[in-house]
Amino acid sequence: MARGYQIAILSDVHYASAAEQARGNDYEYRELGNPLLRLGIRNYRRFVWMDHPLKQNHLLDNFLSRVGAPDYVIANGDYSCNSAFVGVSDDAACQSARECLGKLRGRFAPNFQAAFGDHELGKISFFGMRGGMRLASFQRAQLDLGLQPFWRVELGRYVLMGVTSSLVALPVFEADTLAAELPEWHRLREQHLADIRRAFAKLQPDQRVLFFCHDPTALPFLWQDETVRGKLPQIEQTIIGHLHSNLVFWKSRLLAGMPRIAFLGHTAKRMSTALSNGRYWKPFSVRLCPALAGIELLKDGGYYTVELDAEARQPARFQFHRLPR
């Protein structure tokens, strides 16, 4: 009798080292000059998004104490709070990611794999327009943190693949980069797409795919690739992170296909572009793994366990486990 596998999936841990915690809970908006805007953002964080973004470390410990002994564990990006907005080239954010990944690897290695999130590379802050993607963060994430831009794991007839969503979706994020670094980002993107294309081309007809892509903004660009598009029927589920809550995920799906709003500022325009391409999510069979903390409004964070039939005779069975806060 063929064996089965159990895998566990977590995403958006947003661990904060002591150095990130020292920056204070208002790091994102305290430099804004408009006091009413600061108050509005504070209340949005307090009642809707996340009241204490730098004080969520206990949730990783809760996960470790509850998850048991799965055969494989996948972390789907965003291991730090990215409080300097430049990714892990910032020492404090790198220390956060190092501590987070260290706990996960210490418990589950070698049966553990971690995908890149946007917090590893850097992103322009939603308020204040600071930071952005940095090549130094991409390099440090690989050399110091051991993250792989593309990875592949076989469990029976299931193939687990992880990609770097910010690289795939680079055309959307170009304004987040430094002009001098953009040519190298494009070179890295082409190399990354070639790795992805090669892996999909090698799929055998009886293999099924669980695909890990932190930010769904990347999916329309993958759909455009003929090799990937030809193998979409073999993708049983695409597991995303980034959106934190199924409330955000469902709203994103409802807004899929909305026209691009070109007159908005850079960050809002980037979000509008991602949503306008949301109609391409459906062929990927997208499922959100929420942040461990979820959002303040619903307190809906947690993680998944997945039961896999090694022979892929039946679909993978996903079970969501809510984490108490």
Name the average pLDDT for the chain: 91
Q: How far apart are CA 123 and CA 167, in angstroms?
A: 12
For 191, the token pair is: 């190399």
CB distance 155 to 134 below 8 Å: no
For 189, the token pair is: 């993107």
Is the pLDDT assigned to residue 18 strictly greater than 80? Answer: yes
319 within some domain: no
CA-to-CA separations, 37 to 23, 26, 40, 82, 148, in angstroms, rounded:
20, 13, 5, 22, 39
In tens, the pLDDT along 220-269 reads 999 999 999 999 999 999 999 999 999 988 877 655 543 443 433 445 44
Mean pLDDT of 11-20: 98
- How many helices and strands in the chain, by DSSP H and E? 13, 10
315 within some domain: no
Length of the chain: 325
Q: How far apart are CA 77 and CA 323, in angstroms?
A: 18
286 within some domain: yes
Q: What is the pLDDT of residue 137?
A: 98
Q: How far apart are CA 37 and CA 43, in angstroms?
A: 10
Mean pLDDT of 100-129: 93
The answer, yes or no, to whether the previous bond of 110 is cis (omega within 30 of 0) is: yes
Domain count, the chain: 1
In tens, the pLDDT along 266-304 reads 454 455 455 556 678 889 999 999 999 999 999 999 999
Q: What is the pLDDT of residue 38?
A: 87
How are beta strands 4-10 and 302-309 bridged, if at all?
antiparallel
Q: What is the pLDDT of residue 277?
A: 60
Q: What is the pLDDT of residue 28?
A: 85
In tens, the pLDDT along 123-157 reads 988 766 789 999 999 999 999 999 999 999 999 99
Q: Which domain holds residue 267?
A: 4-310
For 143, the token pair is: 């050399």
Q: Helix/strand/coil (H, E, C) string of 121-139?
A: HCCCCCCCCCCCCCHHHHH
323 within some domain: no
Q: Which residues of 123-162 are buried (b: 16+ CB within 10 A; e: fewer)?
A: bbbbbbeebbbbbebbebbeeebebebbbbbebbbbbbbb
Domain of 192, CATH number, reads 3.60.21
Q: What is the pLDDT of residue 1?
A: 37
Q: Any idea which residue has 């099924």 for tokens?
A: 208
Q: Looking at the DSSP assignment, which residues form a beta bridge with residue 163?
A: 213
120 within some domain: yes
Q: What is the pLDDT of residue 189?
A: 98
In tens, the pLDDT along 36-70 reads 988 998 898 899 999 999 999 999 999 999 999 99
In tens, the pLDDT along 180-228 reads 999 999 999 999 999 999 999 999 999 999 999 999 999 999 999 999 9
pLDDT-based confidence at residue 169 (cuts at 50, 70, 90): very high
CB distance 180 to 132 below 8 Å: no
253 within some domain: yes
Q: How far apart are CA 168 and CA 173, in angstroms?
A: 10
Beta strands in the chain (DSSP E): 4-10, 72-75, 112-114, 151-155, 158-163, 208-213, 235-240, 286-288, 302-309, 317-322
CB distance 268 to 288 below 8 Å: no
318 within some domain: no
pLDDT-based confidence at residue 31 (cuts at 50, 70, 90): confident
pLDDT-based confidence at residue 33 (cuts at 50, 70, 90): confident
User: Strand, helix or coil at 201?
Assistant: helix
Q: How far apart are CA 18 and CA 322, in angstroms?
A: 26
Q: What is the pLDDT of residue 274?
A: 53
Taking alpha carbons only, the member of 185, 163, 164 closest to residue 174 is: 185
Exposed, middle or buried: residue 110 (CB in 10 Å: 0-12, 13-18, 19+)? exposed
71 within some domain: yes
